[in-house]
Amino acid sequence: MKLTATVDDRVLKSKLRRLSAANGKTIPQVTKQSARRVSVNLAYQTQPHGFSSRAHGRGKRKTAIDVRNVFLSPSKAFDAIARRSEDLASAFWLFLQNNQYAKARKIAMEEGIDLTRSLQKQRHSSARNSKGRVPKKNSQQTVVPDDAKRDKYLQKIQKRVGLAKAGWAACARLLGGTRGIPAWAKGKKGVSKVSGSVIESRGSRSVNYQLHNRVPYASDVLSSSSARAAFKREERVAANLLDRAIDANARKSGL
């Protein structure tokens, strides 16, 4: 689903008009620069929050936890079943070892855990909550007997950490550059270029930019409050730039 950041920009527009008058740049110039900074801020606010290598590592660790909360190893399922009945857990394990998956699945289902030999990625997406995370106990828990399949899927998903940020990085690139955004949050070449778009509209006295993040799950990893925080940060930056421009003009005037 395409994500469009929508906020009340009246305060910011007022600051940008005053900034334009103070620093001599045109309204389109200061607005475009502001939109680029907002794009960077949105990338920063998108999970995993931040731009540091620690944020990247934290995102990978959380992804691993989420995947393992959906696709259980046989031993984890065994432990869950054993809490209710060690005999059933032993039977479950025996059936698995003998490839009697239907019988093993029947026991697992009594604990609300499914069993499948094929890893169905839609279970992962449907298990996510409004914050994009997977609760420890969820209705999509599934035993996947093949360790290699789980590990391969996890590696694939971990490579996507930061890809939702790349949608905003693409917007920043279109608006003048990705300064401030680390490589891991920009996405792969070719992919990142189409993961975000900017629509410019001009009036007689104004210019507006719509920023679109086209990464399918972007809305899962950027809350509306985080989007507002990104915009509020730009309001503070614009106010600071305005103060500096006013001070510079005062010094030029000898005040």
**Band of residue 254 on the pLDDT scale cut at 50, 70, 90:** confident
Give the pLDDT confidence of 25-74 residue by residue, as tens digits.
999 999 999 999 999 999 999 999 999 999 999 999 999 999 998 999 99
Arithmetic mean of pLDDT, 76-89: 94
Distance CA 59, CA 54 (A): 8
Residue position matching structure tokens 């094929």: 118
Q: Is residue 227 over pLDDT 60?
A: yes
Distances (CA, A) of 213 to 8, 13, 224: 18, 22, 14
Q: 169-187: per-residue pLDDT in tens?
A: 999 999 999 999 999 999 8
Query: In which element (H, E) is residue 150 found?
Result: helix 147-158
Q: β-strands 3-4, 207-213: how paired?
A: antiparallel
Q: Place 6 in a pLDDT band, splitting at 50, 70 and 90.
A: low
pLDDT computed for residue 17 by the predictor: 93
Strand order through the sheet with 196-202: 3-4, 207-213, 196-202
Q: What is the DSSP string of 38-72?
A: HHHHHHHHSSSPSSSHHHHHHHHHHHHHHHHHHEE
pLDDT over 80 (residue 231): yes
Alpha carbon distance, N-terminus to C-terminus of the chain: 54
List, for residues 133-146, the tens digit of each pLDDT value: 888 877 778 999 98
User: Is the four-CA dihedral 192, 193, 195, 198 of positive or negative sign?
Assistant: positive
| Residue 205: per-residue pLDDT | 76
